[in-house]
Amino acid sequence: MIAPDPENTPTTPATATTVPTVADGIKTQLVVGMEVHVQLATRTKMFTGAPNVAWPDNYDAQPNTLCDPVVLGMPGVLPVINKQAVEMSMLVGLALGCKIARQTKWDRKSYYYPDLPKNYQISQYDQPLCADGQIDIPASDEPDAPLKTIRIIRAHLEEDAGKLLHEAPGGIKIDHSIVDLNRAGTPLLEIVTHPDLDTPEQVVIFAQTLRNICRTLGVTEGIMQKGHMRFEPNINVVIEKDGQTYKTPIVEIKNLNSFKALYGAVSYEYRRQVDDWLQTGIVMKSGSKSTRGWDDVNLVTLLQREKEEAHDYRYFPDPDLVPLVIDDAWIDRIKPLLSELPLQRHKRYVEQLGLNAKDASAIIDEPKVAAFFEEVLTTGVDPKRAAAMLLNYGAKRANEQSCLISELGITPTQIKSIADLTAADKIGSSAADELFGHCCEPGNQSKSPDALAQEHGLLQVSDTGALEGFIDEVLANPKNAKIIDDIKNGKDKAIGALLGQVMKLSKGQANPKVVGDLIKQKVRGG
């Protein structure tokens, strides 16, 4: 659907206050680097044939039903690399301008947690699959904002852990936690940026841009409520006071899965770190990183733990997996899968098709809708008219039916025909809306909009002979004498009152423009 999701609409948190500025004797600058976890929508998991929870068929699987001995870490099991997950990761890496490693390896990242049965995660440490990339994003949400380059440090492939449930299925309250291993072993692409973001708005724009890229490439469904993408901003603040520069300790906020939470957490943490520095004077030093969680109810971040260093995880090469060698031929097979990326498509829609920026964004934000719009364009329809129909007539019905515009049933050819009927003044805008709805009804995809318009009496009557009877009846009504006098005296707005009466008599089929012209002729004598 095109309608915004309230859970993913950035809003300023209620507890946020203005960050101190030079007026308070200090200058501050927010510094944010991002870690983004993307669950890849492969049929099976990263190192086993067990079903993947990020594949649409498995979204509603009951807890602990997508497991096998490999996921459970049973003795004697051996992992096998999921080739499709590797290729999806390479595709994202290419879209982000990364270099694809010619050789990469798998490492064990050791830590104990209830949702990680084998007590280690298979990841990539010093030889990531993708590295040294960059993407451009708008520097703000202003229409003509300049582009800003965000550098990508790495994008490495690993397996996801399981999760702890603090409610039973169905939202039933329990006094314990349930370990659900359905997510364990899901292919997970972790994308890490340099600290190039400096406002909460930029952080959200980057997250939205990356999500659009991944969804456009088809590597993830990107449903954040299901954990398909999780954002972990690393935040600190540079403070200038009395000619001295100070840097607050870095805080990583864990597992944010909505744009609203991302904006709120970054905004709050910016304020909190400045306030904490004003009170304590504590600055960044080696090993001073901590992690915090976001409280969606109270709109605050909460300390979780002091952050581990890399050596705490005791990384070492996984002895069960051989290094992965990637040659030029393999990369060349992936490159053709790169489609037009959202930012380039947005630019084309605005500059070449004449769409406004808001409409272009609304179409592009849902890849399947954008693909459908591209099909509609192949019919030769006017792009602005087609976009307006999709975002008005289509979005309304998609929201009512909880589906995508592209799933309503109407065909690109039918959209072109409705646009042609409207342009030829054979139907009005309200009739076009109704006709769009009839084309969406089951069984009507093979019918022409012309036939459906005739069937439902939607075609406008433009024949002057047929319309004059309705007009004469309205003009003969004594109650309209004052309106007629106003029209005679040059008040064109008064025509609307008579026009409405004619439309009612014609059951909405009269052509408003023709009726208006005829009323002028009859009342003013030419």
pLDDT in tens, 15-42: 344 566 555 789 999 999 999 999 999 9
Cα–Cα distance between 513 and 495 in angstroms, integer? 11
pLDDT band at 464; cut points 50, 70, 90: low
Cα–Cα distance between 115 and 459 in angstroms, integer? 63
- Out of 152-161, 172-181, 214-223, 482-491, least confident range: 482-491
pLDDT for 466 equals 60
Ordered structural domains, the chain, with CATH: 6-334 (no CATH), 340-455 (no CATH), 464-524 (1.10.10.410)
Range 347-356 average pLDDT: 96
Cα–Cα distance between 217 and 342 in angstroms, integer? 10
pLDDT band at 238; cut points 50, 70, 90: very high
pTM attached to this predicted model: 0.84
Residues 6+ apart with CB under 8 A from 500: none
Which is more confidently placed, 114 or 234? 234
- The pair phi, psi for residue 204, each rounded to 5°, is -70, -40
Which is more confidently placed, 466 or 306? 306
pLDDT for 226 equals 94
- The pair phi, psi for residue 190, each rounded to 5°, is -105, 120
pLDDT for 2 equals 39
Range 299-308 average pLDDT: 85
Supply 105's token pair. 């390896």
Asked if residue 3 has pLDDT above 60, the reply is: no
Which is more confidently placed, 446 or 483? 446
- Which residues are 324's β-sheet partners? 104
Contacts 24+ apart (CB under 8 A), 91-94: 91/217, 91/219, 91/334, 91/337, 91/338, 92/38, 92/130, 92/155, 92/189, 92/191, 92/213, 92/214, 92/217, 92/219, 93/129, 93/130, 93/133, 93/155, 94/331, 94/334, 94/335, 94/338
Cα–Cα distance between 366 and 405 in angstroms, integer? 9
pLDDT for 19 equals 67
* Contact of 184 with 114, CB cutoff 8 Å: no
Supply 522's token pair. 């009859």
pLDDT band at 136; cut points 50, 70, 90: very high
Range 396-412 average pLDDT: 96
Which is more confidently placed, 114 or 236? 236
Cα–Cα distance between 26 and 394 in angstroms, integer? 51
DSSP 309: P
Cα–Cα distance between 485 and 255 in angstroms, integer? 70
| 63-100 pLDDT per residue, tens | 999 999 999 999 999 999 999 999 999 999 999 999 99
Asked if residue 1 has pLDDT above 60, the reply is: no
Helix orientation angle between 200-216 and 83-95, rounded to the nearest 10 degrees: 130
Supply 38's token pair. 């993307």
How do 163-168 and 172-180 pair as beta strands?
antiparallel
- Out of 237-241, 349-353, 457-461, least confident range: 457-461
Q: The dihedral of CA 291, 294, 298, 304: what is its sign? A: negative
Q: What is the mean pLDDT of the chain?
A: 89
CA atoms within a 13 Å half-sphere pointing along the CA-CB vector of 208: 26
In 10 A of CB 212, how many CB atoms?
22
Range 253-282 average pLDDT: 95
How do 324-325 and 103-104 pair as beta strands?
antiparallel
Closest to 392 measured CA to CA, from 415, 421, 424: 415
